[in-house]
Structure formats: C-alpha cells, structure tokens
Structure 1
Amino acid sequence: MAWATNFKQAAVANALPRNRLERIKQFFHLNDNSKQPQKETPEYDKFVGLHKKLNEISQEEEYQSIYEQMLSYKGQQTISSNKAPQVGFQDVH
C-alpha cells in the first residue's frame, strides 16, 4: 500500500523499495523449520514460530506493573457527548 500510486508514502517507498521488501519477506523466518514436526503429524503447527515469539512477549509482560492515573485535559470530547464534562481522562498503563 505504501507503494501504490494513489496512497504512496514517499518516506517509506524511498527508504525501502517494494522489491527489496519482498526479498526480505521471502527469507525472514522466526523459526528453525528443521525442528518443526512434519505436516502429517498432529503436533504440526503452521504458526509455531509466531506462537513462540508471542509466548516470550507474554512471559515478559507478567512482570510489568499496571497503574492508573488521570490526565488533565481541557477541551471537548466527542466520544461521550451525553455525559457530563470531566476534568481529564483515565490513563491505564
């Protein structure tokens, strides 16, 4: 989409030509395919590389803290037009 004439993003198209992106996608792998089970076996997972990366991310996420705070904001909010005006928005990290 960044290379289409109607929606061309010059910064993206100039920095990374479409053909180069296709070559990168062709050789980019998240998993060692030699360790993956064969397609005929029930253990076969088409997205095994992606699942491993998602598991790594979720394990690291367990140790992150979550806190809430109010962000000061003076202006109109169009998302909740029937509610009374607030002092700010609640921010959850």
Structure 2
Amino acid sequence: MKKDLEEWLGNTKLPDDIYIKKKGDSQNEIAGDQTFKEVVRIQVETFDYGKKAYDPVEQMYFYRKGEIKKLKKLERKEVNILIIFKYHV
C-alpha cells in the first residue's frame, strides 16, 4: 500500500498554467514562443502550535525508539534540525 503524502511533505501541487524552471531545462523548452506574463505568488504560513510566542519544544518530552517509557526533556540545541525554530509572535 502506497501512502500519498507527497502533496503534504513539500511537494505543493501548482495550478496547470504555472511552470517552474528546473535544472537542466533548456531556455527554449521553458519559454518557447511565449513571454512570461504570469506572476507566481508565494504565501508564507505561520503556525504557533497554540502556544503563541512560546517555544512548544519547551513543553515536550522526547523518548528513544527502544525506550518508549523513559521520557526526557531536551535542550533546544539537542532537538532535531527538522523541527521549525521560528515562531510567530
């Protein structure tokens, strides 16, 4: 069973009329005979995890895969780099 998570994990689906230049594309393939009149909008969303200006990691406990009953608080520098570090105030 394949999980279709790619649209939620960084691969946003764009409208059909928008094309993003990729590495290796030639200029002719991208532009053809058209001129670019469309403007691509980027919208940034901020999440505060319900904690507003507080760092949610300060309220979390972590555990190792093999020791699920042994909880530990981690310092900010110990937390994995994949967790978002900038919070909306």
TM-score bin (small chain):
under 0.3
Q: Specify which structure has the bigger relative contact order, considering alpha-carbon pairs within 8 angstroms and separated by 6 or more residues.
A: 2
Structure of larger gyration radius: 1
TM-score by length of 1: 0.22
TM-score with structure 2 length normalisation? 0.22
- Bigger fraction of residues in helix: 1
